[in-house]
Amino acid sequence: MSRTIAVIAPGMMGSGVGGRLSSKGANVISLLAGRSAQSLQRAADAHMAAAGESEIANAEFILSIVPPGEAVALAKQLAPYLTKAQRKPVYVDCNAINPETACEVGDVIASTGCAFVDGGIVGGPPREGYNGPQIYVSGKEAASVLALNEFGLFFKKLDDTIGTASALKMCYGGITKGITAIATSMTLAASRAGIADALRDELASSQPMLLAHFQRSVPDMFSKSWRWVDEMEEIGVFLGDREERDVYEGIAGLYDRLAGDFDGDKEEISALAKFYRKS
């Protein structure tokens, strides 16, 4: 008997997860009302069927994969329908949120009588020839989600505590996206100072592995930078009242500026693209 799994929403990661599930025989549904043409096309390509909140609430699992700033709002949107649902789904928050936010989402879901699982995605969207990403989960009901591994996903339980998976995501994302931000900042500084070519030559000579990494990660960031703003702010909250919190608030500002530039005249984006263009 096919499992019905709700995946919200059909962004790059959500549609990738939905596509992997549907390719393995799962019935995948999603909230598609009001979505952009691009999102609708991704959902269609992933064989994700449109459903209303009541249908979502009657799925076996709900995977929340939305921008961090929308995680609490989605839980509250679905809460009335989850409360009425006769068969309670397992709600898995897979978003890049800090442990406090994960607990807030968990409280909303717990009030509906549904099981809640904290999750954190490490890696890119599922695709042909790539076995990832790894989806870490925690919470007392986390083991139930491991059943979805039979559909080609890779869930790994950490412990029984809500917030553990989110903490891991904060730390991992803080490193990977933080390194990208450092490279981006110094590359733009080099461009403004007129020494971009010299910096690139030096990196190619003394740090070829770093340069090769940034040639992938920096251009890949351009279209995603708007989504990373909330994540960097969540990492700042996670760090608490410490000096390094300011670092990630600054990185959030950088990614917000680049998101505007990407949608605008692309002055800084063009300088970065030129620097990291493979010869």
Q: What is the pTM of this model?
A: 0.95
For 241, the domain range is 167-275
Structure tokens belonging to residue 40: 């609708």
- For residue 92, give the H/E element and its range: strand 90-93
State residue 1's pLDDT score. Answer: 52
Residue pair 56/8 in contact (Cβ under 8 Å)? The answer is yes
Q: Are residues 192 and 75 in the same domain?
A: no
Burial of residue 257 (number of CB atoms within 10 Å: 0-12, 13-18, 19+): middle
State residue 2's pLDDT score. Answer: 76
Q: Are residues 95 and 204 in the same domain?
A: no
Partner residues linked to 157 by β-bridges: 137
Mean pLDDT by 10 residues, the chain (279 residues): 90 97 97 95 97 97 97 98 96 98 98 98 93 96 97 97 98 98 98 98 98 98 96 98 98 98 98 93
Q: Which amino acid is at 97?
A: I
Q: Are residues 230 and 109 in the same domain?
A: no
| Cα gap 214→263, rounded to integer Å | 22
Structure tokens belonging to residue 50: 């449109």
Q: Are residues 152 and 173 in the same domain?
A: no
Domain boundary residue, one of 159, 179, 198 = 159
Q: Are residues 151 and 249 in the same domain?
A: no
Q: Are residues 222 and 114 in the same domain?
A: no
Q: Are residues 52 and 93 in the same domain?
A: yes
Dihedral, CA of residue 254, residue 260, residue 265 and residue 268, to nearest 10: 10
Number of Cβ within 10 Å of residue 174's Cβ equals 22
State residue 195's pLDDT score. Answer: 98
